[in-house]
Amino acid sequence: MKSKVILISIDGMRPDGFLACGHPFIHDMMAHSMYTLSASSMQPSVTLPCHMSMFTSVPPERHGTVTNTYTPPVRPVKGLCEQIHDAGGRCAMFYGWEPMRDIARPGSMIRTEYLWCYARESADTELTARALACLREDAPDFLFLYLVDTDDKGGHDCGWMSEAYLSRIRTAIECVKNVLELAGEDYTVIVTADHGGHDRTHGTTMPEDMTIPMFFIGKPFEPAKQFDGGSLLDLAPTIAAVMGVLPVYDWEGNNLAR
Ligand SMILES: [Zn+2]
């Protein structure tokens, strides 16, 4: 592999939620990354369809999963983890919500860990600790860390932009900080959200649901550079390019790396 990548998805994190969360590390994140606060989620702005688009670089009407129930596709699009695996790379994944298991096909991972988030005060903190252990023990080429508390215990339980929601974002940003400190120069780290939210829900075409932030931290990206736009579809082509892996023919997004 040309380079290693960590992808962190913070479920339901709106750009204005990121800016308002109050964690001092957000300024470091913007200073060290190429970033956008106006990227697009997918329609429907729902967790599993959005993550399937993140990993297959096609919209939900193409990959076929349009709800939080995985639908085996009639015409499969090869995903990012399968492409990395076939190129000789080693992938790992850590997630706190069970349906996320379907974003990669069995056999493409060297290590997956799932935590039942509902029984824990902070699944995000615990999952991040496990991901850090994996980085130390296995040094995978690609690691996916999915943080769920922002959406479940923040937005859905208490409302988007509520203090409880912002507090969950603060915890997620602390997790990002801990990952970046361990990752050092060895990894490019990409932080995204799958969708936003409003009131105590999401899934609509409202800007509050559809607008997400993305941060790209590492040598292939210019630091302290804000850009407009970007899409979940751009993540798989960008990660493949950073790793020196060829993109899949069907992928529709753009490589954002220089
Ligand atoms: Zn979500």
CATH (domain of 111): 3.40.720.10
Whether 258 maps to a domain, the answer reads no
Residue 194's pLDDT is what?
Answer: 98
Q: How far is the CA of 45 from the centre of ligand 1 (A)?
A: 8
Residue 230's pLDDT is what?
Answer: 98
Residue 112's pLDDT is what?
Answer: 97
Quote the domain boundaries for residue 206: 4-243
Q: How far is the CA of 41 from the centre of ligand 1 (A)?
A: 10
Q: How far is the CA of 216 from the centre of ligand 1 (A)?
A: 20
Residue 1's pLDDT is what?
Answer: 87
Whether 248 maps to a domain, the answer reads no
Number of separate domains in the chain: 1
Q: How far is the CA of 80 from the centre of ligand 1 (A)?
A: 19
Q: How far is the CA of 203 from the centre of ligand 1 (A)?
A: 9
Q: How far is the CA of 2 from the centre of ligand 1 (A)?
A: 31
pTM of this prediction? 0.98
Residues of the chain falling short of pLDDT 70: none
Residue 120's pLDDT is what?
Answer: 87
Q: How far is the CA of 127 from the centre of ligand 1 (A)?
A: 17
Q: How far is the CA of 69 from the centre of ligand 1 (A)?
A: 13
Residue 70's pLDDT is what?
Answer: 97
Q: How far is the CA of 88 from the centre of ligand 1 (A)?
A: 30
Q: How far is the CA of 10 from the centre of ligand 1 (A)?
A: 8
Residue 236's pLDDT is what?
Answer: 98
Q: How far is the CA of 169 from the centre of ligand 1 (A)?
A: 13
Whether 38 maps to a domain, the answer reads yes
Q: How far is the CA of 151 from the centre of ligand 1 (A)?
A: 6
Q: What is the DSSP string of the chain?
A: ---EEEEEEETT--HHHHHHS--THHHHHHHHSEEEEEEE--SS--HHHHHHHHHHSS-HHHH---SSS----SS----HHHHHHHTT--EEEEESSGGGGGGS-TTSEEEEEE--GGGSS-HHHHHHHHHHHHHHHT--SEEEEEE-HIIIIIIIHH-TTSHHHHHHHHHHHHHHHHHHHHHGGGEEEEEE-S---BTTB--SSSHHHHEEEEEEESTTS-TTEE-S--BGGGHHHHHHHHHT-PPPTT--S-----
* Cβ proximity of 142 and 89 under 8 Å: yes
Whether 216 maps to a domain, the answer reads yes
Whether 254 maps to a domain, the answer reads no
Residue 118's pLDDT is what?
Answer: 86
